[in-house]
Structures are given as structure tokens and as C-alpha cells.
Amino acid sequence: MAYPIPLTATLSGATVDQLAYWRRATATHTPLLEPDAKRSGRYLYSWADVVALRSIVYLRQFRSLPRIRNAVQLLRALDPHEWRHLSAYKLRTTGTSIFVVTPDGTVLDIDTHAGTVMSETLLADVLNDFVREDGRTVPQFARPKAHVTIDPTVLGGYPVVSGTRVPYHVVAGLAEDGYTEAEIIELYPSVKPGTVADSRAFAQEVARAA
């Protein structure tokens, strides 16, 4: 399943305006990240897109956007024949430079000492929760709420109620329409008591991001 823009913003930590800006080409650079899918003229992001966007948002705490753009452009130049989706490369920083872990495990400096192969470095995990430069917390990617989880092997990585294949927004929508937790569980027996509140809370966060 694809991620609409408000959900992408919530899970990546990017704002809707940032997503739009990063989809645009500049005079010197191709778009930082433009999703392939569209529906009714609206962009739809993939699970891999959101992973890549989280890397960019994480790096923005330490590096300017032009330096991140330059790093991504250099990465494409270093791997011109086997360029893959940005999410495959795991962009990281040590605080002094931007590094990339390639799909084969090689660690490359793509910023301060561009092209240098690193044997070992401390790499932060952008899939855990982290705080943006403006103080806003970006939730853990695999579990943005205690009872809402994301697994790329379940519904293509779309957020679901924990332990089920039921999309969070289905449960949240029923709750908003006045269904009680017991009635929702009767409709979806895999949904456990205590999970409806988290689905509603997450849906409200996504709505605020729109």
C-alpha cells in the first residue's frame, strides 16, 4: 500500500512543504526524492521512500540541505551503473561528515572527504525515534504508537494495528463514526482490547500533518 502525503509527513518527520520542495529540481540538482506513484494527481510515497526521507530529516539536524543534495548527487555519480533507491544506502552522519552504507556494506564518505572508503564508524539509527532541529520528535518507524506497527512484509509497510493486517485508519475511522471498541473487535476479531485508542491517536497526528 502507498503512503499519502500526510502519513508520509508524520512518519518521516518532514513537513508537507518540505516534501514538495524536495520533489522539485533546482538549477544544479535533480529532485532530492520524487515518488514514482500518483493518484488523482497526488503523490504517493512507498515504504522505501519514507525510510529515505527519515534519513534526510535526521541529517538536517547536522547538515544544510545543499550539502545533503550534494552528497546524494555524489552518491549517484559514484554508483552510476547500479544506482538504487536512496533508501538502500542508509545515509548517516558522525557530526563532521555524511556517510553512506552501500547495499554491499561498504561505508563511504560522501561529504567532507568524498569517495573515501571507511573501515569503521559510529552510525546512528534513523529508524529509532529522534528529535528534529525544531524540537519535534519523529516517532520510531517500526512502532509509531504502542499498538500501531509498520512492517514492509505486511500490507507493503502500511501502518496496521499491532499483530493484525488491519490498517490503523480503518479502526480509527470506525471509532470516529461512533463504533465502540467491542463493536470494532466484533468486526475485526484480530484487533485486541486497548488498541483502538492508539489507532485514533495516530490518525489524529496524521490529520494534523496535512
Q: Which pLDDT value is given to residue 120?
A: 41
Q: Does 167 reside within a domain?
A: yes
CA distance 106 to 86: 15
Higher pLDDT, 127 or 191: 191
pTM for the model stands at 0.76
Boundary residue ending a domain (113, 138, 163): 138
CATH number of the structural domain spanning residue 157: 1.10.10.10
- Could you read off the pLDDT of 126-144 as tens digits, one per residue? 778 888 888 889 999 999 9
* Radius of gyration for the chain, computed over Cα atoms and rounded to the nearest angstrom: 19
Cβ–Cβ < 8 Å for 68, 59: yes
Same domain? For 72 and 160 the reply is no
Task: Output the nine-digit C-alpha cell for 60.
Answer: 538536517
Pick from 21-30, 38-47, 176-185 the range whose average pLDDT is largest.
Answer: 176-185
Same domain? For 21 and 106 the reply is yes
pLDDT, mean of residues 79-93: 68
CA distance 182 to 187: 9
Boundary residue ending a domain (92, 114, 138): 138
Same domain? For 134 and 57 the reply is yes
Same domain? For 126 and 164 the reply is no
The DSSP code for 92 is: E
Same domain? For 39 and 94 the reply is yes
Pick from 26-30, 103-107, 127-131, 200-204 the range whose average pLDDT is largest.
Answer: 200-204
CA distance 162 to 148: 5
Number of domains the chain contains: 2
pLDDT, mean of residues 154-174: 95
Same domain? For 18 and 118 the reply is yes
Same domain? For 168 and 92 the reply is no
Q: Does 143 reside within a domain?
A: no
Q: Does 183 reside within a domain?
A: yes
Structural domain containing residue 195: 148-209
Q: Assess whether pLDDT exceeds 90 at residue 77.
A: no
3-state secondary structure of 141: coil
- The residue type at 107: V
Boundary residue ending a domain (117, 138, 159): 138
Pick from 31-35, 126-130, 194-198 the range whose average pLDDT is largest.
Answer: 194-198
In sequence order, the β-bridge partners of residue 37 are 44
CA distance 96 to 75: 18
Using pLDDT thresholds of 50, 70 and 90, give the confidence band for residue 118.
very low
Q: Does 192 reside within a domain?
A: yes
Q: Assess whether pLDDT exceeds 90 at residue 173.
A: yes
Q: Does 116 reside within a domain?
A: yes
Angle between helices 5-12 and 47-59 (to 10 degrees): 50
Same domain? For 134 and 164 the reply is no
CA distance 8 to 11: 5
- Could you read off the pLDDT of 92-116 as tens digits, one per residue? 666 667 777 666 666 677 776 665 5
Give the alpha-carbon dihedral of 160, 85, 206, 139, to 10 degrees.
80
Q: Which pLDDT value is given to residue 121?
A: 38
Q: Which pLDDT value is given to residue 89?
A: 67
Q: Does 82 reside within a domain?
A: yes
3-state secondary structure of 203: helix
